[in-house]
Amino acid sequence: MFFDHLPENGFICGHRGARSIAPENTVLSMEKAKNCGAHCWETDVRTSSDGQLIIFHDENLERTTDIKTNKFFKDREKQQVDQFTAEELQQLGAGSWFLKDDPFGTVASGEVVPEEKEIIKSQKIPLLSEILEFTKKHSFPVNVEIKDLKTPAGDTAIVDKIMEMLRDTETMDLVLLSSFRHEYLHRAKEIDKNIGIGVLTAKKHPSNLNQYLHSMSADAYHPKQSSCDSLLLNNLRQAGFRVNIWTINDMTSAKKMLTAGAGVITDWPQRLTTGEQSHET
Ligand code: G3P
Ligand code: MG
C-alpha cells in the first residue's frame, strides 16, 4: 500500500513533480522530485482520443506545450487534449514553454542552471506507462490524480484502464489514486480494495466528512490548503485517515503541517528537503 512507503508522520510530495524547477508533469520533473529527496510526487492523468493514458494537467495544450508555434498542429491550439491521439501528443514539445514563461522565476534566478536548458527543451508529454516504469524501478511512490472530469456520470472507463495498468505493471502498492470526481475512487476500490485512494476536494468538505470518508473506504483526504487547519488535520488523523494538503508553497506553513503529520503537496519540494527536515523513510 502507498502509505507503507512513506513516513508515518509528515511527508513531502512534489506537485506535478518538482514543477518550480522543471516543466510540470514531465519525466524531468518527476526525476527532480525524486532527486531532491521528496518522498513521493503527484501527477495528473487523462485519456487521449485513442484511449491511451497520458500525463497532462490542463484541458488544452496552450499553456504547457509548443502547440502555438508547432507547424504540424496549425489551428489546433484551442482543441482539447482528448481530441489528439497519444502519438500526436508525443510529437509536441512540453519543455520550451517553461524556459520562455519562467513560471516560478527559477530560470531568471539561476536555480535552473543554463546547462539544463537542452534537457528541459527535450521534454515530451509522458504516457502513464512510462511513469509507472520509473515508479517501479525506483520504488518512488506516485499520487495519480485522475482528471477527465467531464465524462458522463457513470462512465468510469478511465479507472478500469488505470487499474489494469497498475496490475500489469505491478505498481498497485506504490500508487495512490485521487480525484475530484469521487465516483472514480469508488470504482477503483470496487475493482481492488487494496488500492490506496485519496478523496480530493477544492473548497467545501463533504457533509459528515468522517462518515463520508469511511463510506468511501478512503485511505486519505486531500483538502485544499485554504480549507484545512490543524483542527481538521488532527481530527482526521485521530480517525485513522492520512491527510495530504495541496498546494502549500509557503515554507513556514509547509513545515508546520509536516510537523503536525500531514502530507504536503508542494511546487517547491526542493526547499523542504534541503533544510532541517529529515527525509528518511
Ligand atoms: O492533487 C492535488 C492538486 O493537484 C489538485 O489540483 O489542479 O493542481 O491538479 P490541480
Ligand atoms: Mg493534480
Say how far apart CA 278 and CA 157 lie, in whole Å: 40
Instruction: Indicate if ligand 1 lies below 6 Å from the C-beta of 82.
Output: no
Examine the pLDDT at 277 and tell me if it is beyond 80.
no
pLDDT digit string (tens) for 100-124?
999 999 999 999 999 999 999 999 9
Say how far apart CA 3 and CA 51 lie, in whole Å: 30
Examine the pLDDT at 273 and tell me if it is beyond 50.
yes
What is the share, in percent, of the chain residues with pLDDT greater than 90? 91
Q: Which atom of ligand 1 is nearest to the CA of 180?
A: 5
Q: What SS3 class is residue 169?
A: helix
20-29, 205-214, 271-280 — which is least confidently predicted? 271-280
Of 20, 25, 42, which is best to mutate to test ligand 1, by the most ligand atoms within 8 angstroms of its C-beta? 42
| 191 against 151, higher pLDDT | 191
The pLDDT value recorded for residue 135 is 97
Region 30-47: mean pLDDT is 97
What is the domain partition of the chain in residue ranges? 2-58+125-272
pLDDT digit string (tens) for 209-263?
999 999 999 999 999 999 999 999 999 999 999 999 999 999 999 999 999 999 9
Instruction: Indicate if ligand 1 lies below 6 Å from the C-beta of 148.
Output: no
Examine the pLDDT at 278 and tell me if it is beyond 70.
no
Q: What is the CA radius of gyration of the chain?
A: 18
Q: Ligand 2 centre and the CA of 92: distance in Å?
A: 21
pLDDT band per the 50, 70, 90 thresholds, residue 275: very low
Nearest-CA residue for atom 7 of ligand 1 = 57
Q: Ligand 2 centre and the CA of 33: distance in Å?
A: 15
pLDDT digit string (tens) for 149-170?
788 888 999 999 999 999 999 9
Region 122-134: mean pLDDT is 98
User: Quick check: 143 and 178 in contact, CB under 8 A?
Assistant: yes
For 23, the grid coordinates are 516543466
Superfamily of domain 2-58+125-272, CATH level 4: Phosphatidylinositol (PI) phosphodiesterase (3.20.20.190)
Say how far apart CA 106 and CA 127 lie, in whole Å: 26
Q: Which atom of ligand 1 is nearest to the CA of 147?
A: 9
Phi, psi of 98 (to 5 degrees): -65, -40
- The pTM assigned to this predicted structure is 0.95
Residue 134: partners with Cβ closer than 8 Å, 6 or more residues away: 27, 30, 31, 140
Nearest-CA residue for atom 2 of ligand 1 = 246
Q: Which residue has the cell 513531502?
A: 12
Region 113-139: mean pLDDT is 98
Say how far apart CA 232 and CA 209 lie, in whole Å: 10
